[in-house]
Structure formats: structure tokens, C-alpha cells
Amino acid sequence: MAIGVFDSGVGGLTVLRALRTTLPGRDFIYLGDTARLPYGTKSAASVVRYAGQAADALVGRGLSCLVVACNTASAVALPELRSRYAPLPVVGVVEPGAAAACAATRRGRIAVLATEGTVRAGAYERAIRALRPQAAVVSAACPLFVALAEEGWTEGEVVDLVARRYLEPLLATSTAPDVLLLGCTHFPVLAEALARVAGSDVRIVDSAATTAAAVEGMLGAVDGTTQGRGRLQLLATDDAARFARVGARFLGEAIEPATVEVVDLGG
């Protein structure tokens, strides 16, 4: 059975990319809820409903594991999804991301860059302090990063200006972070610009690789991996052509619009 992965849009393709690198023999089904993105500005009740509908669409196709590649859905809806689909393994990106940040920090000072919904939920702070109780954690909502990533604006003056506007208040404090945790799957495509603004003393981490490692550890203990390159199905809830064009930047390879199935998740 395939591993199902969903996100509010194309950002979760960064997680899918890491999963396919780590588990090349596995089949994957990816769903981007592009008709309703971003989840980060929605109420918690809406995020739980949307996440449940996306998960239902994937679970109905038969899965060995469900990966919630959306940070906001992971922060808000993960307990509900785990309860609904038990004993199916359901993996979010918050706990792996927190583990990556704790492993990377030298001084225990971590800044979480995320969407409004993820910041509001406080899930990253709880996950980080569960691993490192004395850590100094600050979170900042950076909604414009999502728009820049969706438009493919990953370099240039506008990107640098927005990055400085978000980062400089964090870096100017007496407890300036030595790790920036990218708490949104859109943000890794902006990593070079963020590193340029933050400076060489600040490490930038995201949850993609650690999420892939968590899934590998879980499924490896259950039923091993297959041989050869697994199959990939791509689903979107709106505009296959745009999904293919924008998603290629996150997946790291070309996507043919004809291979993207458009699905309706309901209201």
C-alpha cells in the first residue's frame, strides 16, 4: 500500500521529495488542497475539517501510513486524525521539526518561522520544550513567505526586504536565536535568502528530512521496503496546470499537468 501525504498546497512536496529520497521503493499518493490554501489563516475548526476531508480522500485509496505535511494541520488536527484512523500510523511534521531544531541549536535559542495558525496553536513550542525544557523559543508568523514561494519569488530585492522585515526584530534581541526552524513547508525554497539575512552563525532547519526518517523508522519496523522506484500519484483540488508549474520547484523535478488528478473534497 502507498504512503499518503497531504498539504494545503504544493509546499508539502518538499516533504514528499525527502520521503522519496529516503524510501525510493515506496509508492506515494500526494494531495494538495490547492482550492482552499492557505490553511494558516483559517480557524482551527476549519483546519480540522479540511484536514479530515483530505485525509479521508487518501485513506480511502488504501494506505500503509499517512503523513500530514502541512504544519498548520499538524499543529491543529493531528490528535483528531490519529484518533480517527487508528491503528493507521499518522505522522506530522511538527515533532520531527522540533527534533531537528533541538539537534541543531548550540545555545538553546530557537526561532520558529511559521503561518499564523501554526504560531497560534503553539505546537512547536510545546514539542521543543518537551525535548529541551530550558530552550528559549520564539515564534513569528511570516505569511508573506507563502505568497513569495507560491509565485516562485525565491531571490531578489523583494525577497530580501521581506526576509529582513521578519527576521531583523528576532535577530536584534539579546537572546537572538542560533537556529531558525522553518515551520511551514513553503519556506525551504527561501532558505538561501533567509540564510543571507540571518548570517552564517544561524543555522536553518526544516522538518522534511527528519519526517522522512521518522516514517522510515516506523514502516521499516512494520513491513520493510520494496525494491526499485515506487509509483507516484499526484492529486490537487484545483487547477492541475498551476499545481504542476509551481509544484515542480518544490518537488525538484518537472510535473506534467496531465498526470495531476483533480479531486473534489466537498464543502
Active site residues: 70, 184
Helix runs in 34-183, H state only: 44-59, 71-85, 94-104, 116-121, 123-131, 143-151, 157-171
CA dihedral 182, 248, 4, 89 (to 10 degrees): -20
How many H-runs (helices) and E-runs (strands) does the chain carry?
11, 10
Peptide bond into 38 cis (omega under 30): yes
Distances in whole angstroms, Cα of residue 53 to Cα of each of 29, 181, 254: 15, 28, 28
CB atoms within 10 A of CB 156: 10
